[in-house]
Amino acid sequence: MARNPPSDAPRRNLYGRARGRGLRASQKRYLDDLVQVGLAGVKRDENPGRQKLDLKATFGDRPVWLEVGFGGGEHLVHQAVRNPGVGFVAAETYVNGVAKLLGKVRSAGVENIRIHPGDARDLMDVLPDLSVAKAFLLYPDPWPKKKHYRRRFVTPEYLDPLFSILAPGAQFRISTDIPDYVRQAMEEVPKAGFVWQAERPDDWRKPWGDWLPTRYEQKAVREGRTPTYLTFGKPGA
């Protein structure tokens, strides 16, 4: 199965805007914490050879979970608090979201999160094969125009490298409120090698037992859209 395209190949934007309204003074101070919780060796200018990260040096023997696009970070911190024996890696291009996450990390006092403030594909490039035990894709950018569907995460350009870094038996969770995103996920994710783990008709309508509704989900519900929860697994183990 294909991994990432060559490092010099052009890439389509997976994400929208990288910055919103101006940061508050406190949020700017939170960004200073990237020195402690940022993942070194992910950016292309600091690791042009795309050498793999040494996750054991960061997390020891903890299993590693990945969140792609953590938004404001509420789900990520929630999971880190619930699972202190897990190491979390996450990527987010939106600097305002990064600042919000860092504020939540400070407040919660968690120490098992490491983040890449940039494109998730750059992070997946340098994660070792078979190293991730669980992955989350929660309310990703829907790219609603048909001509932009190929920019969605649920396409081979992103799913193939994700499949490579997930360990056998790993779980891949997707939540979205966009029906056409569900359609595309159900078509493309199994093609990448994943198996849909629903056993009953209601499985895709009910959140996971450890779920924390994100602000994106709360907005969707307020606006009358219905959340969908998809659980896939990588065969093996």
Report, as residue numbers or ranges, the catalytic residues: 141
Backbone angles phi, psi at 182, to 5 degrees: -60, -45
Alpha helices (H) along the chain:
25-31, 34-37, 55-59, 74-82, 95-108, 120-126, 156-165, 179-191, 215-222
Strand partners, 171: 134, 233
Measured CA to CA, the distance from residue 107 to residue 24 in angstroms comes to 17
DSSP assignments along 185-232, one per residue: HHHHHHHTT-EE---SGGGGTS--TT----HHHHHHHHTTPPPEEEEE
